Amino acid sequence: MNKKLSIIIPVYNEQETIHLILDLIQDVKLLEETQKEIIIVNDFSTDNTKESILNYSLKNSNLPMKIINHEKNLGKGAAIQSGIAEATGDFVIIQDADLEYDPQEYNLLLKPILSGFADVVYGSRFMGGNPHRVLFFYHTIGNKFLTFLSNAFTGINITDMETCYKLFKHEIIKKIQLNEKRFGFEPEVTAKISRIKNIRIYEVGISYYGRTYDEGKKIGWKDGFRAIYCILKYNLFVK
- Report the domain count for the chain: 1
Average pLDDT over residues 39-47: 98
Band the pLDDT of 129: cuts 50, 70, 90. confident
CATH of the domain at 121: 3.90.550.10
Residue 92 is predicted with a pLDDT of: 98
In this structure, is residue 28 part of a structural domain?
yes
For residues 80 and 10, is the Cβ–Cβ distance under 8 A?
yes
**Between residues 224 and 117, the one the model is more confident about:** 117
Q: In what order do the strands lie in the sheet with 4-11?
A: 65-69, 35-42, 4-11, 91-94, 166-169, 120-124, 201-205
The per-residue pLDDT for range 178-191, each reduced to its tens digit, is 999 988 999 999 99
- pTM of the entire structure? 0.94
In this structure, is residue 142 part of a structural domain?
no
Average pLDDT over residues 112-120: 98
For residues 185 and 146, is the Cβ–Cβ distance under 8 A?
no
In this structure, is residue 69 part of a structural domain?
yes
The per-residue pLDDT for range 5-39, each reduced to its tens digit, is 999 999 999 999 999 999 999 999 999 999 999 99
In this structure, is residue 185 part of a structural domain?
no
In this structure, is residue 73 part of a structural domain?
yes
Residue 139 is predicted with a pLDDT of: 83
Q: Which residue range(s) make up the domain with 95? A: 4-135+162-178+193-213
Residues 132 and 207: their CA atoms lie apart, in Å, by 6
The per-residue pLDDT for range 191-218, each reduced to its tens digit, is 999 999 999 999 999 999 986 666 656 6
In this structure, is residue 197 part of a structural domain?
yes
